[in-house]
Amino acid sequence: MTRFTDLLSTGEVHSAYESATAPKTTQQTTVDIDNSPASVEDPVNPEPLDFTTMSKLQLETYGRAIGIELDRRHSRKRLIRELEQFISNR
C-alpha cells in the first residue's frame, strides 16, 4: 500500500494541513484569526473614469469587467462610444 492509501484508511491528518486549518492555541485560550477584508463597501465618491486617457487594451478590459465585449480592431473613439452607450443603457 502507498502512504496515501494508509492515510485514507487511518484517517490521519498530515501535519502541514493540520497547522494550516486548525486555530492557533495557547495554553488555555484559542486565538481566532480574522481573515475578513478591512472594508467591503464601495468608495462613497469614486472618481469618474476618463476613457480618453485609457488605451484600447484598458478599454477592452474595463468593458469585459462591466459585461460588454469590445473589439480592439475598431478605433479608440468607437470603443469609447460603445462603452458610453452601454453604460447609459444600463
Number of helices (H) and strands (E), helices first, in the chain? Answer: 4, 2
Residues 6+ apart with CB under 8 A from 27: none
**pLDDT-based confidence at 56, cuts 50/70/90?**
very high
pTM (2 decimals)?
0.50
**% of the chain residues with pLDDT over 90:** 44
Residue 49: predicted pLDDT? 86
Q: Average of pLDDT values for 69-86? A: 95
- Residue 57, in any domain of the structure: yes
Residues 6+ apart with CB under 8 A from 74: 82
Please tell me which residue, 42 or 70, carries the higher pLDDT value: 70
Q: How many domains, the chain?
A: 1
Q: Which domain holds residue 66?
A: 51-89
- Residue 69, in any domain of the structure: yes
pLDDT at residue 60 tops 90: yes
